[in-house]
Structure 1
């Protein structure tokens, strides 16, 4: 079974993990990527997405997306987590390809319309482009195969006690996306914080896969140092790759079904909560995870030696 996925991304170190995992997976075809602000600016995100595609040896069209949230004032980029250029201490890298001449939200709509019931939309950054795509063509909700998001969390936050970073960066967009009637899975902090890879894990994939694993191993040192300093965790929480693994390996997750909404102002801005609004659809929310299964799935994908 081939999964055609369209990744909306703000690379980002764990974005790089997710994209390399998808590029290596024999049952995944990355049909496109779109960039969004968050870990870096949308311009850097577009460049970084192309860097990752080219390093993986794939020609993947990349469309540049929104540079700011729908409503709120933009938060600063997360350079203290991911580094100034998005990949830790690694300098900016040039690319052969350039972004396509099409806005991300139109690119998303076009690919879904050209491949009805075939595209899995996988946003692993703020949801601005996804909300704009729904506004541009609401019929994509009926034509997409599924939407699998890395974001949110019903029991915890990471940029505040309440909010997860992707939702916090554009809560209004996230609330629009969660209100849409489409087959959506929210892979949030409830499960992604439980899956942790440490420095020896990344050293092992660098040895097995010098080109891709080596890149991740170099970039992740900065990321792990952030987790050690700020969270007391000796390793990297595997947020974005866990969302991609949920597409191909749902058996690793315990799913609940909840209507969702996002708090868009006040002290709890960006918090994802269970909604009591009867007009809202119920979405899949993984609340339990086979930690060893997900971690093993990620690490063994790099044993090809690429």
Structure 2
């Protein structure tokens, strides 16, 4: 399966990209970057750094700096650290971004790999909305769009109503759900059932002394946030669960639902069922222990 990950790395993004690199079912053909956990230039730098660590030579196309209609964004420094990788702050600039911006790159790759390309969006949906606007055939050219975002049947994580990726550009998300390609939404409804604890990171580091140890090291900051804010002994495999859904959708219980995103007011970013909208597949349950096992086994195969 040919895959592009639209990403804002981000500790959980790093985990998802490592999983994609290790999964034999996935041919990772590029990364596109967006604001979110970090400023977009940090997202791109972190993406190139990760690919270098993974020994992958694939394009990184930089995308949106800000949400629709805004000229500012404040990253989630308290969740992912000042540079996106926890306490790691000395992250080198390795290589260069692709010449095309993310939306153009996505549209071109969807044309080149028509009917074959899956895009997994694990940040705000600005680049995806931009690609839909740019190329009317983008959605039909894709095989599938898989989104980490939303909280349809459960409370949000950035507010009571909203999940962070959707909240950070509610207008773009609403636009994507209005005219979606074949879409799977992997939200907090399932990702909070995939708790990855400190002991899991330690086991991963022992089995994968290069990449596993890197993820273990940057996870400390992330785990501390989950413990202090949510009282949890681990972190959800949010982005990795979305990448797993790209190839293992039978692991998920899904409902076919149209969705509207609340774009204004106190419920900004809420994902609400709307029968007038085109239906997408919304994940509502998963075997969290199986996701954890699969993630560990695949990433542990990396050096």
Structure 1 counterpart of 2:272: 273
SS of structure 1 residue aligned to 2:299: coil
- The Cα of 1:138 is off from its aligned counterpart by 1.6
Give RMSD over aligned pairs.
Answer: 1.0
How many aligned positions are there?
A: 302
Structure 2 counterpart of 1:146: 144
Structure 2 counterpart of 1:247: 246
- 5 Å-filtered alignment, 1:1-306, equals 3-72=1-70, 74-154=72-152, 155-277=154-276, 280-306=277-303
What CA deviation, in whole Å up to 9, does each residue of 1:208-236 have, x standing for no partner?
11111111000000000000000000111
- The Cα of 1:63 is off from its aligned counterpart by 0.6
- 1:72–1:170 Cα contact (<8 Å) kept: no
Which structure 2 residue ranges, 5 or more long, are not aligned? none
CA distance in 2, matches of 1:44, 1:302: 24
TM-score normalized with structure 1 length: 0.97
- 1:74–1:169 Cα contact (<8 Å) kept: no
- 2:139–2:180 Cα contact (<8 Å) kept: yes
- The Cα of 1:184 is off from its aligned counterpart by 0.3
- The Cα of 1:74 is off from its aligned counterpart by 4.0
CA distance in 2, matches of 1:193, 1:219: 20
SS of structure 2 residue aligned to 1:301: helix
- The Cα of 1:305 is off from its aligned counterpart by 4.8
TM-score normalized with structure 2 length: 0.98
Which structure 1 residue ranges, 5 or more long, are not aligned? none
- 1:106–1:133 Cα contact (<8 Å) kept: yes
